[in-house]
Amino acid sequence: MSKLGAFGRLAATNPAIDTSATEVPGRSNAATPRRREAGTPRHRGDGETVAMTIRLARSDWLRLHELALHERVALAELIRRGLDRELRERGLPGLEWRP
Q: What is the mean pLDDT of the chain?
A: 76
Domain ranges of the chain: 5-89
Model-wide pTM > 0.85:
no
Highest mean pLDDT among 10-14, 68-72, 95-99: 68-72
Per-residue pLDDT tens digits for 34-73: 666 777 777 777 778 888 899 999 999 999 999 999 999 9
Task: Please give the Cα distance from 9 to 11 (Å, whole number).
Answer: 6
The predicted model gives 28-32 an average pLDDT of 54
Q: Is the pLDDT of residue 1 over 50?
A: no
